[in-house]
Structure 1
C-alpha cells in the first residue's frame, strides 16, 4: 500500500487517477479547489480543498501528512491552469496567474512534501507536449506552454539535487487527452485518448517508472495536438 498525493483531482485525469489508486488499495490525498462528489465517502481517499496558487493553502497538506501519514511514497503534480489568448492581449497578471499554479504551485508543494519523501519515493510532474523544446506550438498558449517547459527543467534539476536520497523525479509530457481542459484549448477537437485511459498509463508509471527513470521527460503522445 502506497501513500499518494495527487493534485488537480476535481475532474479529468486527476479524478480518474485518485479513484484508480484508491480502488487498488492505496491511500490517496486528493488536492483540488473543488472536491468532487465521486471522491467523497471512499475510505482510501482524503480530500483537501487547496488552491495551489495560494502558498498558505499548502499548510493544510503539511498538517495532514505530519498528523496522519508521516511519509509519502508518490507525489503527482497533475493540476494545471490554461489560458488561451493572444500574447499581446495577455496581461502580466494573467501570465503570472498561470505560473502560480503550473510552476510555483509545483515548486511550493514539492518543498513541503520533500521532508516526508524517502528512498524509493517518486515525484511525477504532468507536463505537456507544448512544453517540449522543438515540438509543435499553438498560438494563444504562450503562458501555458512556457510554464509547462519550466516545470520540465525544474524536475530535471530536482532529480540531480536529490539523487543521493534515492528520490526520483520524472516528467510525463502529455499530448491530446479528451478532457475539459483540452476542449477549452481546442473546442470541438476529439482526442484519441480518454482521461481514464491516460490515467491508466500514469497509474502504472507512478508505481514503477522510478525503477527505470530519474530526471527524464517521457513524451506520451499519439497525435498532434
Structure 2
C-alpha cells in the first residue's frame, strides 16, 4: 500500500524539513521508494536554473527514484515572508486547487512513501478563503506533526493537534524536534506531550549541530507509518 502524509508544524522555523528528510531517509533504509512535495515555498533564491528553495532541494535529495525540482516545488516565491503575502506581491495566485494539482503529479509517481510538506503552521493562509489545512483535506492524507521543542511548545502542540482533529483529519504521528538548545526541562516537556497527544510518537530529535537526514533518521521510528 502506498503511504502518503502531510507534514505540518507547531510554528514556523521548527524543523519540518529536517524531520521530513529524516523520515524519507528512514523509509529509504527499509527499501521503500520515496517522493516528496513542497507545493509552495517562500524564500527562494535566484539561480541559473530559476528560483530554488533550500528546503525543497533538501527534500529532493531524499527522493528515490529522483524527481525533477519543478515537480517537487511548483510554486516558488522569492520573498522570505508568509506565502500569501509573497504571492500577492509577486503576482502569483495561490489556491488549494493549484497546489493539489502539483501534489497529485507527485502522487502519480506511485512512490511507496510520499511526504507533502506545508509551510509554517497548520493555519497558514493561501488566500482570503483558504489555508494549507484545506490542502491537506483536499489531498485526503493523514498528518505528521513536528513539535518544535522550545518554550511554549505544549500549548502550540495541543492547539495544533486539536485543529487537525477539528478539520476531520487523522494525526498519524508526531515528532519532537529540539530547536532551542537552551530550553529548560526538555524531557519533562516531552513527557507531558506524550501524555496529551493522542497519536503515535515517532521520536525525539535532540539539538544537532549538523542535522543531516542520515543522523536525524537514527532518532525516528517510522513503524507506525509503514
Give the TM-score of the pair, scaled to structure 1: 0.47
Larger proportion of helix:
1
* Higher relative contact order, chain-length normalized (CA < 8 Å, sep 6+): 2
